């Protein structure tokens, strides 16, 4: 079997999006991957060392992007995958309706350096999307907080820019 017969892209890509960390080193508010989803740890508990010599860490976390609650267990000395998580804030320049009305509207964003981005949509959370749109249409300067992890990039919150 030659290298051409294998698809390495998924594994390689996944490897650069996460890093190993000991399960015993996780903390509340930290990040972990559960079921290949980036999650924020909301609760941890460590059981006593069992007859096989490993304390188990029980992890309760919420998916960063969907808010779904996920649980996992791992021996405290074993490594678990943790996602690289980046947060960036952008100014909303414009909101264009999507040609497909079932899809979220497109955002035109500007970085602090003055570069524009046209590749993000309003968030799938209808309430958050409506709040952003309402503030923008009211003429307020709106900044969105974009979180990226494991190849997913999404607006997770917003704030009105402070007027000096």
Q: pLDDT for 71-98, tens place per residue? A: 999 998 899 999 999 999 999 999 998 8
Closest listed residue to residue 93, CA positions, set 113, 79, 107? 107
Check whether 161 has a pLDDT greater than 50: yes
Give ∠ CA 133-139-141 in degrees, rounded to 5. 80
Asked whether residue 99 falls in the same domain as residue 142, the answer is yes
Check whether 163 has a pLDDT greater than 80: no
| DSSP 8-state class, residue 112 | T
Q: Of 83, 106, 123, which residue sits at a domain end?
A: 83
Asked whether residue 68 falls in the same domain as residue 101, the answer is no
What's residue 103's pLDDT?
83
Check whether 2 has a pLDDT greater than 70: no
Kindly state whether residue 5 falls inside one of the protein's structural domains. Answer: no
Asked whether residue 73 falls in the same domain as residue 97, the answer is no
Asked whether residue 74 falls in the same domain as residue 103, the answer is no
Q: Average pLDDT, stretch 106-134?
A: 92
Asked whether residue 73 falls in the same domain as residue 124, the answer is no
Asked whether residue 136 falls in the same domain as residue 149, the answer is yes
Q: pLDDT for 10-49, tens place per residue? A: 333 444 799 999 999 999 999 999 999 999 999 999 988 7
Asked whether residue 127 falls in the same domain as residue 140, the answer is yes
pLDDT-derived band at 99 (thresholds 50, 70, 90) equals: confident
Q: Half-sphere exposure of residue 45, counting CA atoms within 13 Å on the CB side?
A: 5
Burial of 122 (0-12, 13-18, 19+ CB in 10 A): buried
What's residue 130's pLDDT?
93
Check whether 70 has a pLDDT greater than 80: yes
Domain that holds residue 67: 18-83
Asked whether residue 90 falls in the same domain as residue 155, the answer is yes
Asked whether residue 79 falls in the same domain as residue 120, the answer is no
Burial of 117 (0-12, 13-18, 19+ CB in 10 A): middle
* Domain count of the fold of the chain: 2
What's residue 1's pLDDT?
41
CATH number for 66:
2.30.30.30
Kindly state whether residue 102 falls inside one of the protein's structural domains. Answer: yes
Q: How many CB atoms lie within 10 A of CB 130?
A: 11
Q: pLDDT for 42-65, tens place per residue? A: 999 998 876 767 789 999 999 999
CATH number for 102:
2.40.50.140
Check whether 6 has a pLDDT greater than 80: no
Asked whether residue 79 falls in the same domain as residue 89, the answer is no
């Amino acid at each position: 079997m030659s290298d051409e017969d294998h698809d390495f892209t998924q594994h390689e890509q996944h490897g650069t999006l996460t890093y190993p960390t000991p399960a015993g080193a996780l903390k509340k508010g930290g990040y972990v991957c559960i079921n290949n989803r980036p999650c924020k740890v909301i609760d941890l508990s460590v059981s006593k060392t069992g007859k096989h010599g490993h304390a188990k860490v029980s992890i309760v976390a919420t998916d960063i992007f969907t808010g779904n609650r996920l649980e996992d267990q791992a021996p405290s000395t074993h490594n678990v995958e943790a996602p690289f998580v980046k947060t960036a804030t952008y100014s909303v320049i414009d909101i264009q309706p999507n040609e497909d009305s079932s899809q979220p509207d497109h955002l035109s964003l500007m970085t602090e350096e003055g570069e524009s981005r046209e590749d993000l949509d309003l968030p799938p959370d209808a309430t958050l999307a409506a709040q952003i749109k309402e503030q923008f249409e009211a003429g307020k300067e709106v900044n969105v907080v974009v979180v990226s992890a494991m190849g997913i990039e999404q607006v997770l919150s917003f704030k009105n820019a402070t007027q000096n």
